[in-house]
Amino acid sequence: MSYSYLEDFKNFDDPRDASRAFVSGNFTGDGLTDSMHGLSSTEVKSVVDWRDFYFKTYIFVGKLVGRYYDSEGNPTEYLKGVEANAARGAQLMEKQKNEEAKLPSCNSRWSQDTGSEVWCHNGYPRLIQKPLEMAITGKVSKRCACFIEEELNQPGLEVYSGCDHFAKLCRL
């Protein structure tokens, strides 16, 4: 997804665009591809953020002609689509952040002696699904938020396993 930079060529005899590896962590075999197919918009945003980092940090020495740039170094239509997808990812992440700010997060800690604990100074810890997580990552995930007693009957709130319904601290 990026032009090639001097650092990219120091250790490689076969420079190629392996943009997907920045998200997947797979820097071998099939992971060394420039395809963004199947990535969520926030994962694509991460790749675009890496590209922008390289543009600002490294000295330009050449270009990889292909999916993202033509032989003149101009962005292709595919790159424009990827950048639009990344912009959607940024919007979704900002919306998620705003939604999460409406509900106070639980406090948490871990120690070798007591293990994991979550607690609320005001309210009760509950697991809730992140409201936009499916749209952002394609996966469902949960977070801990604090709710006052009057809010505990809301659908979708989950008491931690082994934790009393009115406990302010839960050991996991």
| Residue range 17-74, pLDDT digits in tens | 888 888 888 888 888 888 888 888 888 998 999 889 988 999 878 777 888 989 888 9
* pLDDT value at residue 87: 93
* pLDDT value at residue 84: 94
Q: Is the pLDDT of residue 107 over 60?
A: yes
Our CA angle for 97, 147, 116, nearest 5°, is 80
How far is residue 133's CA from residue 39's CA, in Å, rounded to a whole number?
A: 14
Beta strands in the chain (DSSP E): 4-5, 60-62, 107-111, 115-119, 124-129, 142-147, 169-171
How far is residue 59's CA from residue 10's CA, in Å, rounded to a whole number?
A: 13
Domain ranges of the chain: 4-97, 103-171
Q: Is the pLDDT of residue 6 over 80?
A: no
pLDDT band (50, 70, 90) for residue 125: very high
pTM: 0.60
* C-alpha pair distances (Å), 20 with each of 29, 48, 50, 81, 95: 12, 10, 11, 16, 25
